[in-house]
Amino acid sequence: MPVITRFAPSPTGFLHIGGARTALFCWLFAKHHNGKFLMRIEDTDRARSTPESIETILDGMTWLGLDWDNKDYEGVGYYSQFAQRKRHAEVARQMVANGTAYYCYASTAELDAMRAEQKEKGLPQRYDGRWRDRPASDAPQGVPPVIRLKAPQTGETTIHDSVMGTITVQHSQLDDMVLLRADGTPTYMHAVVVDDYDMGITHVIRGEDHMTNTFRQVQIYKAMGWDIPTFAHLPMILGPDGAKLSKRHGAPAVSDYRDRGYLPEAVRNYLLRLCWSHGDDEIISPQQAIEWFDLGGIGKSPARFDFTKLGSVNAHYIKQTPDVELAKLTAPFIARFLERPLTAVQTDILTRAMPDLKPRAQTLVEIAEMAMFYFHEGVFTLDDKAKKILTPEAKQSLIDLTARLETLSDFTSESVESLFRAYAEEKALKLGAVAQPLRVALSGSTVSPPIFAVAGLLGKDETLRRIRAL
RNA sequence: GUCCCCUUCGUCUAGAGGCCUAGGACAUUACCCUUUCACGGUAGUAACACGGGUUCGAAUCCCGUAGGGGACGCCA
């Protein structure tokens, strides 16, 4: 049987980084087995679902390179849960007919009171089954009922989770959950099961927060006589402090990572290593990931998100990315700082500077910040450190040097360097004594890429202009 | 409160009863390289939550304790 997995986000916000990890694992598992990976939007909550959110989520998936196999579905490009509502209702009614579900006329206020009382008494908060065995003749007039599952009350259910192992829950822990709301729309619990069945999902891979739900959902499969898929519940991703990953930690949305200059392949590699391992391997190419990925490699314990490590993985992928492409990816960040797009000449400088830029950065934003001085016009504002470099002697050396630079016919990184080296030797100076002042002159800072390379890139005119502007 | 899951360096993890003097990566410290900052290289600090068992032998199996996470909606 071919493997079919799915990612089923609810379109009520952005694509969460934890969701992205789930999607990645589903995708990898399907790819590994030559199966299919499907996208389903869980939009049954009409009040909270928005088209913008769907777009954001799909964008995030595309950015990460996680393509789904039902892009042509019904012309919308994904399976919509809401569109299946008639089918959900039909199944619920079928369950009433076969005695595995029933109508419940309890009002919301009534149920709130019930839960409040249970809580006060320290009892487990569960629906007490007040309509479970009442005859249809008891139904009040004009009250639209919900349909509830008639859950088994004795015995137990065992599931064999591919990550968590064999887990058994007593049926006494289950309650009669709502399947179909009074307005005829399905609840999540019901819709997932029906959709997973209809879509032929063989492996339900999802977050651990769905673990206990699984035992309730299994009752629906049983009630309908459907085959139960394989479940794999992934441990949570926690924030650096061990609490739930949230806005407080800075970056819960996939788009945050794009905006901060992380490469999608780096984010994927980092995410892959959260709760999953393949021996001591850390840097794993997309091809290797597909080849190696298996459910057995997933750990059971939750992982904390570590931005520092993500940074180092990102640095690795930055170094691997070809200069032309990296320049293309960095240009928008620079353009944002400059408040105008880069000219062809500037793009060319950026590309040629890339070999010296990329080993120094962890993100595209850092590259952009570091590259800004190349495009600087006018006079630099120097900090104290830089000012300290420009002693009267240093300035004098620079003036001496401008005269010599002037005569250079072949103005390159190499020729400038040998000229500086010769000068330093002549004056019995360390190279740093002339290189540092040049660095300040050309970059406006005490820290920059190798300064002779900078001079070569800037060219003779601009180099002399910057020295004279001091 | 009830139920479920988890627990190896600061973090991600390797580990399937003897290969463990517990390995790797990130971070961190020192040194080397060096025109600055990085990159790179070398070396170091650093962990089996605790308590009981089982066994000739436990990070690994069992029980308990503590801590963490999750679920308990006409949200998904």
The gap between A196 CA and B26 C1' (Å) is: 39
- pLDDT bin (cut points 50, 70, 90) of residue A2 is very high
CATH of domain A4-80+237-304: 3.40.50.620
Nucleotide with minimal C1' distance from the CA of A282 is B25
With H, G, I as helix, E, B as strand and everything else as coil, classify residue A149: strand
The gap between A242 CA and B68 C1' (Å) is: 8
> Of the candidates A282, A285, A271, A306, which has an alpha carbon nearest to the alpha carbon of residue A18?
A271
Nucleotide with minimal C1' distance from the CA of A121 is B1
Mean pLDDT of A384-390: 92
Instruction: Return the pLDDT at A301.
Output: 94
The gap between A99 CA and B9 C1' (Å) is: 57
The gap between A116 CA and B50 C1' (Å) is: 38
For nucleotide B11, give the residue with the nearest CA to its C1': A306
Choose the catalytic residue: A247, A300, A328, A395. A247
- pLDDT bin (cut points 50, 70, 90) of residue A281 is very high
Instruction: Return the pLDDT at A30.
Output: 98
Pairing of strands A146-149, A101-104: antiparallel
pTM (predicted TM-score): 0.94
The beta-strand segments (E) located in A74-197 are 79-80, 101-104, 146-149, 156-161, 165-170, 178-180
Using alpha carbons only, what angle is made at residue A448 by residues A333 and A329, rounded to the nearest 5 degrees? 25
- pLDDT bin (cut points 50, 70, 90) of residue A27 is very high
Contact A191, A81 (CB under 8 A): yes
Mean pLDDT of A366-382: 95
- Residue A117 makes CB contacts below 8 A (sequence gap 6+) with none
pLDDT per residue as tens digits for the range A145-160: 999 999 999 999 999 9
- Residue A57 makes CB contacts below 8 A (sequence gap 6+) with A9, A11, A14, A15, A41
pLDDT per residue as tens digits for the range A85-106: 999 999 999 999 999 999 999 9
Instruction: Return the pLDDT at A1.
Output: 81
- pLDDT bin (cut points 50, 70, 90) of residue A215 is very high
pLDDT per residue as tens digits for the range A169-207: 999 999 999 999 999 999 999 999 999 999 999 999 999
Tell me: pLDDT of A248 over 90: no
Mean pLDDT of A375-403: 93
Backbone φ and ψ for A343, nearest 5 degrees, come out as -80, 170
Nucleotide with minimal C1' distance from the CA of A46 is B75
Identical fold, A4-80+237-304 and A83-234: yes
Count of CB atoms within 10 A of residue A272's CB? 25
* Buried-exposed string A366-386: b where 16+ CB fall within 10 A, e elsewhere: bbbebbebbeeeeebebeeeb
Q: What class has domain A83-234? A: alpha beta
Question: d(Cα A202, Cα A423) in Å, to the nearest integer?
Answer: 74
- pLDDT bin (cut points 50, 70, 90) of residue A246 is confident
Pairing of strands A165-170, A178-180: unpaired
Nucleotide with minimal C1' distance from the CA of A233 is B5
Contact A240, A307 (CB under 8 A): yes
Query: What does each C-alpha distance from A191 to A79, A86, A97, A149, A199 come to in angstroms?
Result: 12, 11, 18, 13, 12
The gap between A280 CA and B23 C1' (Å) is: 9
DSSP string, A60-97: HHHHHT---TTTTGGGTTSEESGGGHHHHHHHHHHHHH
Tell me: pLDDT of A296 over 90: yes
Amino acid identity at A147: I
Instruction: Return the pLDDT at A424.
Output: 94
Nucleotide with minimal C1' distance from the CA of A359 is B39
Question: What is the torsion angle, in degrees rounded to the nearest 10, for the CA atoms of residue A110, residue A115, residue A118 and residue A123?
Answer: 140
**Helices and strands per DSSP (H, E), number in chain A:** 18, 12
Tell me: pLDDT of A242 over 90: no
Nucleotide with minimal C1' distance from the CA of A9 is B76
- pLDDT bin (cut points 50, 70, 90) of residue A245 is confident
- pLDDT bin (cut points 50, 70, 90) of residue A117 is confident
Domains in chain A: boundaries? 4-80+237-304, 83-234, 321-366, 384-468
Amino acid identity at A12: T
- Side by side, the strands of the sheet bearing A101-104 are A101-104, A146-149, A178-180
The gap between A420 CA and B34 C1' (Å) is: 16
Nucleotides in B strand less than 7 A from protein CB: 1-8, 10-16, 23-27, 35-39, 68-76
A384-468 carries CATH number 3.40.462.10: no
- Residue A314 makes CB contacts below 8 A (sequence gap 6+) with A261, A262, A263, A266, A267, A270, A362, A363
Question: d(Cα A221, Cα A227) in Å, to the nearest integer?
Answer: 7
Pairing of strands A178-180, A237-238: unpaired
Tell me: pLDDT of A32 over 80: yes
Instruction: Return the pLDDT at A249.
Output: 75
Over chain A, what is the mean pLDDT? Answer: 94
The gap between A244 CA and B22 C1' (Å) is: 31
- Percent of chain A residues past pLDDT 70, beyond the cut: 100
Instruction: Return the pLDDT at A187.
Output: 95
Q: What is the CA radius of gyration of chain A?
A: 31
Mean pLDDT of A61-80: 94
Mean pLDDT of A3-16: 96
Nucleotide with minimal C1' distance from the CA of A168 is B4
Question: d(Cα A358, Cα A319) in Å, to the nearest integer?
Answer: 6
The gap between A237 CA and B67 C1' (Å) is: 18
Mean pLDDT of A432-443: 96
A247 included as an active-site residue:
yes
